Structure 1
Amino acid sequence: MTPPPARRRRPGSTGTAPARSFPRRGTVRRAQAITTYGVGSLMAVDQESFIVSGLDTAEESWSTDESPRIHERRLARLLGVSHFRLPPASDDTSRDGVRVRRFPLMHSCPECGDLQPHRDFNPPSGRSVCGVCEVDLVPSRFVVACKAGHLGEFPYWQWVHRSTDRDAPSVGRCGGRLKLRTSGRTSSLRSILVSCTCGRVDEVSMEGSFRRQALKDLGISCRGTRPWLGSSGEASNCGLALRTLQRGSSAVWQPVLRSALSIPPWSDGRADPLAEHWDRLRELAGRQRVADYLYGAFPGGCPVPLDEVMTLLAAEQEEDADSGTEPTFDHRYRALRDKEYERLRAGNDESEHAHDEQFVCETPLGDQKILEPLGVVGPMLVKKLREVRALKAFTRLADPDSTNGPREMSLSDSPLPWLPAMEVRGEGVFLRLDDTRLAAWEKATAVAARADRVHRAHQRVLEERADDPGLVVPSPATPRMVLLHTLAHVLINEWSLESGYPSAALRERLYASDDMAGLLVHTATSDSAGSLGGLVAQGEPEILDRTVRAAIRRAEWCSSDPLCMETEVSGAGGTNLAACHACVMLPETSCEHNNILLDRALLVGTPEDPEVGFFADVLDL
């Protein structure tokens, strides 16, 4: 979504001008600064295009009142930072906001047809118009990127001169000026024509510029440019192959997000004052040494009692033990999920905690035996929930879930002790599948065969996108994972009709492994659709029984059937089976796995083999 046009800034409460004099180009919501317009992404505002700047200067430009700190110790420890910060607001009263830089620099004038850097048009200050024609300039529609995350200008000069002087020394040496026009005959790249006034070459279309080998055939490789970092992002030798992309393509920027729920003993916020001290506290052995350190760090007295500090340290050590002696990032992230699953199963009654408790999870009052025929057990009402979602890095040309560390591009040139993040406070419903029934269903030959098709397709996609086959992440597609994922989607679709929330305001959180089989559906936005109570009400056994039955019956039929149910492959790279936008797919904000690893047949079965469906018995009742 393009940000709305800029609005005039209002003076401060004292009538003074804002602290910064940078021109304002648009507004974005805080959540968009994490998920859509984060560091390194391209942003279109009216007729102009910008790239969001890195965080190296954010310590000075992000004021503490507009960009407060937020704490989530478990996630901060996983990501190697001490705290997080909300991106600054960009409303009328804000003094400053997220910094941007003009990119791409190549622009064209629709009147005279010149194609050159923005500054060469001599535009008036604060405007993006041709200094001669006085019409709005058009940013280049094309950029180039590599899999390492670098971004650059499309090499128009080399593209035009490729037929006569493939090894020409540098741009502009021919003495001519580039021109761009559109023939208007078609809407394809063939109608976009680039020429040079030097007269040495003919007019060339942009057709073929998106071929994988197009730039490599010209002898052009990545120079390692990082325009979002300004002068610190100057060219360095990268050498990877470059791909041509449209400026607005989703492949230009994909966020690498990591999230965690606030669970006891961290969920009451009492440990926040110790955020800067945890690394040192973890190195201390013994209660007395911890007490001595706290006495020196807080001369006026530690705001957290010593007993609570020791409890928190013990909780961290317990999580370390679960993740192994030499845990990788993926192992530690799974350990984080394991603790959430344990807490969701155990619950956390509101009556036993103070008002500041941010995680309240209670057993419903109704009779849960009504759910046994469905194979659903252990529903929990999550009446209060806080999720922190942090922007760890970003990728280009690659799905973040399929990348390894080298492909993730950092948000700053130098390491920072914090990351940008957003927090969501809402509600949710947690439920599990019966372990005995699930284990028997997984052993069925037809079930394993369908899940294996999804697994092999996803693994193939991961291997194709990986530079090093030895670093390929194993596909998580198992029968129970695909089943839980598809069940979460149909429940979200059903609850969007019953609970008063739009489906884009609900989000899944899956817990699928050999010893876990649960899912949490919770509110995923921090605006007016955050916590209305309608979702928690759906977790009562009597209502949940009706909802699950209705969702399964609705999933039995798709408007694209029989094509949807009988298809051999669907989705990106064949990573889905019976799943399409007419039945189980969700908005991007709701799905943890980008709408892949789905199969409606594992819920309801197929006409040829109904027993493939885990809930096949429900349809017979």
Structure 2
Amino acid sequence: MTKNAQRLSQLISTFGPGAMIDLPTRSVVVAGLEFWEMRANSFTTIPEPRLTARLEQLLKDQGRLDPNVSLSLRTPPVATDNATGMPAGVIAPIFPTWFVCEQVEATTAATGTLRRRRLVRWQDLDTRGRRKFVFDDGRKSEVTPIRFVCACEKGHLQDIDWRWVVHGAVQCHEPLWVEEKGTSADPADTSIVCGCGRNLSLQDAFQPGRLGKCRGERPWLLDRDPNGCGDNLKLLTRTATNTYFPQVYTVISLPSEEDDLTRLVDELSGDLGNVQTVEDIAQAKRFNPKVSVSLGAYPDAEIFERLKRLREGARADAARSPKMSEFDVFASGRQQIGHNHPTAKLYAETLPRTAWVDPSVDVDTSAIKNLVVVHRLREVSSLYGFTRFEAAPTSSDGDIEDIQLAVRGAPISRGADWLPAIEQFGEGLFIHIDEQVVNHWLQAPDVVNREVSLLRGYGHWRARFSGGAPNYPGTAYTLLHSLSHALMAEIALDSGYPASSLKERIYALSDARNGGVPARCGILIYTATPGAQGTLGGLVAAASRFSRILRNALDRQLICSNDPVCADHEPDGRSGDRATHGAACHGCLLIAETSCEMRNLFLDRSLLVRTMARHQSNFFDQ
């Protein structure tokens, strides 16, 4: 991989449109979808009707997609060897356009040694490569992009107008310098100094309104927001983690094959996205070799009938939480789920209790109704927007209304009829928890008291979201989420999988729209990677040792290396994300955020076992 290349998964997560990337000599911002070089052979259409229908509905409701346009999912362009020209790629405009010279001038002042470096613009650099600045005396200096830019909560991004910030309305053409003292890189020790004597401390730049009003600039789309803006700009460190939070929607593919024709149409549904009539099927066969080879032997009317049936099912599925559909498939109790075929999207088996319950292991498994081994699964993820400063609130059940709470999310295109997506394959374990046992546990007085404390913490946490936050996911969700993290850590030790390669989906779902008693309780722990790690079979093999894994996972939660501080932690009255935690920290329950569906929120091991704080709210007697 070259220095200027990114993985497909990075382009729909860490470095999607609107994200800034450091290159060896400058910084760039990843351009919007209109500037991706989507040549005929550089991308693949991903068929996933459930996800496509869901996102199409979301974008049309937000006014980001024309009501008469059908959405499709495509992989990012893949750079292949091309002897006749440049390989396909993604355009990345230069940003920011202010640079700092690497040549340092040191001066002595009453407060100590001051180091200053010249602050210059892109157009001031030499025309041969734009890598050096030439001083008036002929000296040349390498340059690096300045670390600071500004943005607003709507995702708009722009260069700081340093001359205006330092001088206001006063015109001045003296050179600007970045002046530093000490070695802490504290904003109070860094100033922008003009040759005329005016200066600005970066600590003052954090004051509201000090950087001026936002002009709605969107450098990744090379335009300005047609709706304007006018919000106060905020100082943003270019390499900080709060510069970019992707909005990614993920589903687990479900089996839909009734026969060979339905399976083929399902696989090609992405290529048939624009088909609206039987006559369009004939045109697709004529102009798309893939469709012609796969479906050439079938009548056009039958193909169109299967396609309509798949679309109607996807639209009906889009009206409810995607997790409900997934749970109903995994918890169906069928011995075999899907078909054992190399091209199958999902193949799983519901194990008899004798296959995973070990009588010699002292652990109570009565609350677990079924254990399902998922031999093969397919995960499809699509990027549809991003936020800055704060990540969009995460919904526990993927409900469309909760997703729309992130109304300040920025678009990744001006109106493209497709979204970038990737498909990954893997395996997993689905643990079906008895809903009646969970509901009986929720009614215990000690659990009710613990829930009151968790609700007070949730109230403090949601106050930080001006646009609204998701509903409280429920104490049952916190229980299952905590159990999932405990099991993931133990499975990583048992199976040899890297902990960061494991993922989770928590099912604590109520039939009511506004929550309530959970009617579906389960946990899916799985891997899904483009490489071989997702299909090594380690999770499936762990099913026979599940009793021992469960006992060891619970035993590890009895004592945390940060006890008694961790065990005594109360969520009420706390600030930030800690307000959503009970007894949980990096020593016991917190895992890599790439593995957690809720960004390590809503965790409490006192709901699992009895900690040294002696809360009586534990679900397991350990």
Contact 2:504 2:524 (8 Å CA) reproduced: yes
Contact 2:339 2:347 (8 Å CA) reproduced: no
CA distance in 2, matches of 1:532, 1:380: 17
Opposite residue 386 of structure 1, the aligned amino acid is R
CA distance in 2, matches of 1:585, 1:268: 40
Unaligned 5+ runs, structure 1: 7-25, 282-289
Contact 1:360 1:382 (8 Å CA) reproduced: yes
Opposite residue 201 of structure 2, the aligned amino acid is S
1:605 to 577, 588, 610: 610
Instruction: State the Cα deviation string for residues 46-97 of structure 1 (Å, max 9, x = none).
Output: 3421111111132xx1334332222211101111153222223458878232
Residue aligning to 2:107: none
CA distance in 2, matches of 1:488, 1:257: 21
What are the residue-to-residue correspondences of 1:211-610 with 2, within 5 Å?
211=207, 213=208, 216-217=209-210, 220-230=212-222, 232-233=223-224, 237-265=228-256, 268=263, 270-275=265-270, 294=281, 310=305, 313-314=308-309, 317=312, 332=320, 334=321, 336-346=322-332, 347=334, 349=336, 352=339, 354-364=341-351, 367=354, 373-401=365-393, 404-413=405-414, 415-467=415-467, 472-513=468-509, 514-540=518-544, 543-569=545-571, 572-610=577-615
- SS at the partner of 1:521? strand
Contact 1:227 1:234 (8 Å CA) reproduced: no
Decide which structure has greater helix share.
1
Opposite residue 27 of structure 1, the aligned amino acid is A
- SS at the partner of 1:70? coil
1:152 to 133, 158, 171: 158
**565-574 or 34-43, larger mean C-alpha shift:** 565-574
Opposite residue 191 of structure 2, the aligned amino acid is L
Number of residues paired by the alignment?
553
- SS at the partner of 1:408? coil
- SS at the partner of 1:538? helix
Alignment TM-score, normalising by the size of structure 2? 0.81
CA distance in 2, matches of 1:485, 1:411: 31
Contact 1:261 1:388 (8 Å CA) reproduced: yes
CA RMSD of aligned residues (A): 3.0
Alignment TM-score, normalising by the size of structure 1? 0.82
Contact 1:454 1:477 (8 Å CA) reproduced: no
Question: Do residues 83 (structure 1) and 72 (structure 2) align?
Answer: yes
Opposite residue 527 of structure 1, the aligned amino acid is G
Unaligned 5+ runs, structure 2: 57-69, 105-116, 287-291, 395-403, 510-517
Contact 2:506 2:523 (8 Å CA) reproduced: yes
Residue aligning to 1:193: 191
Shift of residue 479, structure 1, vs aligned partner: 1.2
Instruction: State the Cα deviation string for residues 342-371 of structure 1 (Å, max 9, x = none).
Output: 111235737955442121011225516668
- SS at the partner of 1:563? coil
Opposite residue 547 of structure 1, the aligned amino acid is I
CA distance in 1, matches of 2:374, 2:144: 50
Shift of residue 123, structure 1, vs aligned partner: 4.8
Shift of residue 322, structure 1, vs aligned partner: 6.8
Residue aligning to 1:11: none
The 3 A distance-change label for structure 1 pair 360 and 139 is same
- SS at the partner of 1:400? coil
The 3 A distance-change label for structure 1 pair 352 and 321 is closer
1:135 to 107, 130, 141: 141
Contact 1:27 1:91 (8 Å CA) reproduced: no
CA distance in 2, matches of 1:280, 1:270: 12
Identity %: 29
CA distance in 2, matches of 1:89, 1:254: 24
Shift of residue 552, structure 1, vs aligned partner: 0.6
**264-273 or 509-518, larger mean C-alpha shift:** 264-273
Contact 2:215 2:224 (8 Å CA) reproduced: no
CA distance in 1, matches of 2:464, 2:134: 47
Shift of residue 459, structure 1, vs aligned partner: 4.4
CA distance in 2, matches of 1:108, 1:67: 38
Shift of residue 247, structure 1, vs aligned partner: 0.7
The 3 A distance-change label for structure 1 pair 229 and 86 is same
CA distance in 2, matches of 1:521, 1:401: 22
CA distance in 1, matches of 2:357, 2:252: 29
Contact 1:71 1:275 (8 Å CA) reproduced: yes
Instruction: State the Cα deviation string for residues 391-417 of structure 1 (Å, max 9, x = none).
Output: 11111122222673531111112x222
